Amino acid sequence: MRRLVALALALSWPGEALAYRPFDSTDAAVAGKGVWEVELEPLGWQHNDDGTGWVAPALIVNYGFAENWEVVLEGRNTVLPRGAEFSDAAASLKTVRREGSLQKKDGVSLGSEFSFLLPGIRDDDGAGLEWIMLASDRTSWGAWHFNIGPELTRDGRGALVMGGILEGPQDWVVRPVAELRYEKTFGGDEMFAQLIGLIFPVREGLALDIAYRHAREGGRPNEQIRAGVTFGVD
């Protein structure tokens, strides 16, 4: 992993869009055609009723295989007192349906993302589906992004997913960001999460981030500190 990250950083190339750390939601933009985008969290922290755990690592890889289309693979390895777990695994197809401000054109950018929710290891048994509608807009004061869509959970139940992101101006040296996220399983639990953080653009195609996330999942608290890097490889 260390060799892979070092090689990717050495090859990193300017790009118009970057994958969207440190959020659970996403934006209505995709990687450019022929460009790889990598979201890497080498080490994160979390605490819930099961104790303190370490995320080592979480990885999302995006590849722009056509104009306004990308494929996404992701997963998270968490080390807990009872052992390591691999979760949040998914394979997704994401597209921009209307080019807007995120593509340097007028108006709201619109997109969608269809995901296969894959089984994990010692967690996330079963498989599911998710289809999320995306809307984004960027102005001189900052940007907003909104996600909403249905989900078929890994245990075969229907659910609704909603998320909203606000971020500071693009030209600031450090950009403050915030997110609200809500997930409701019909006939089951609900999850509500709040995130605040900072994004540090190093240069075009390379950014660092750090964030604090507080969530209640089925009435149980879950605290996280996320820190990572996003970079593009042409």
Question: pLDDT (tens digit, 0 to 9) for every residue of the chain, 234 residues total?
Answer: 554 444 444 444 444 446 589 999 999 999 999 999 999 999 999 998 888 999 999 999 999 999 999 999 999 999 988 889 999 999 999 999 999 999 999 999 999 999 999 999 999 999 999 999 999 999 999 999 999 999 999 999 999 999 999 999 999 999 999 999 999 999 999 999 999 999 999 988 899 999 999 999 988 999 999 999 999 988
pTM (2 decimals)? 0.90
Number of domains observed in the structure of the chain: 1
Peptide bond connecting 150 to the previous residue in cis, omega within 30 degrees of 0: no
- Residues 145 and 25: their CA atoms lie apart, in Å, by 8
109 by DSSP, 3-state: which?
Answer: strand
User: What is the residue range of 211's domain?
Assistant: 2-233
CATH code (residue 154): 2.40.160.40
Structure tokens at 192: 């509500």
| CA angle in degrees (0–180, nearest 5) for 164-180-169 | 60
Rounded distance between C-alpha atoms, residue 224 and residue 117, angstroms: 22
